[in-house]
Amino acid sequence: MPSDSALPSAELAVRLRNGDQQALAEAFAQHSRLVHTVALRTLGNHHDAEDVTQQVFVAAWRGRHGLDPARGSLAGWLVGITKHVIADVMAQRARSVRNLHAVAAEAGPTATPGLDGTVVDKVVVAAALANLGEPRATILRLSFGEEHTHEEIAQRLDLPLGTVKSHIRRGLLQLREDIREVRADAS
């Protein structure tokens, strides 16, 4: 199923793979909130999140030859890199905790914190939702987040009921596609 945004996304991926630095800027403009929020939610501090975000886009640039636009979305590819960088930061943290424990002569293994997949999923969906544009994103939030009826949404946004229903159906199909593409490449 061709989705509304598949073509520009694939085109951007091809330009990025070919070494177009402007494409990197566009990828950052489109996806840096996704990358940064995943890092922030999983690592819990702004400083680390900013460093991870920087590393992800630099690594994306240097590893751009591995980008396969046919395999999944650019967002999915970036989320995959983000997971790697975050896992590395977490592993470093865990090792350093173990070292500290060794110094204090405390016995027992220290659990390595894992990457919380639910958190990543939530942020991916929130980003995909935001990318739907308005009023579609707001309509879907009201419908599935706050569970308003279609009639209430139509009234609240002053839109015809048919338009609201159409936005919900198409928005839902688009989001399913976005999530599939991210999962295909970020796993």
Partner 1 sequence: MHPEDEILAQLALGESVDPSAAAHVAGCESCQAVVGELRETMSLVGEAADEELVAPPASVWESIRAEVADEAAPAPTAPAAPSVPDELARRRRPAFGWIAAAAAIGVVAGVVGTQVVGNAPGLRPTVLAQTQLDTLDTGTRGGEAELLSSAASGLDLRVQVKPLDPGDGYLEVWLINTDLKRMVSIGVLPKDATVQDFRITGSLIEQGYVIVDISRERFDDRPQHSGDSLLRGSLS
- Residues 71-90 binding partner 1 (CB under 8 A) are 81, 84-85, 88-89
Helices (H), 44-73: 46-62
Nearer to partner 1, 9 or 168 (CB): 168
Q: Under the criterion CB under 8 A, does residue 70 sit at the interface with partner 1? A: no
Closest distance between partner 1 and the C-beta of residue 8, in Å? 20
Q: Under the criterion CB under 8 A, does residue 133 sit at the interface with partner 1? A: no
Binders in 5-24 for partner 1, by CB under 8 A: 17-21, 24
Cα-flanking dihedrals φ and ψ of residue 161, to 5°?
-55, -40
Cα-flanking dihedrals φ and ψ of residue 150, to 5°?
-60, -35
Token pair 């702004």 is found at: 46
Stretch near partner 1 under the rule CB under 8 A, chosen from 5-13, 108-116, 137-145, 151-159: 137-145
Q: Under the criterion CB under 8 A, does residue 170 sit at the interface with partner 1? A: yes
Q: Under the criterion CB under 8 A, does residue 187 sit at the interface with partner 1? A: no
Nearest-10 Cα torsion for 176, 86, 118, 124: -30
Q: In the set 9, 30, 42, 53, which binds partner 1 (CB under 8 A)?
A: 53
**DSSP-derived secondary structure letter, 146:** S
Nearer to partner 1, 92 or 155 (CB): 92
Q: In the set 44, 70, 103, 114, which binds partner 1 (CB under 8 A)?
A: 103
Closest distance between partner 1 and the C-beta of residue 157, in Å? 16
Q: Under the criterion CB under 8 A, does residue 127 sit at the interface with partner 1? A: yes
- List, as own/partner pairs, every contact residues 61-65 make where C-beta atoms lie below 8 angstroms and the sequence separation is at least 24, other chains included: 61/16, 61/21, 61/24, 64/16, 64/17, 64/19, 65/17
Task: Report the 10 Å Cβ neighbour count for 76.
Answer: 21
Stretch near partner 1 under the rule CB under 8 A, chosen from 5-13, 107-115, 119-127, 152-160: 119-127
Q: What is the rounded CA–CA span in Å between residue 21 and residue 58?
A: 11
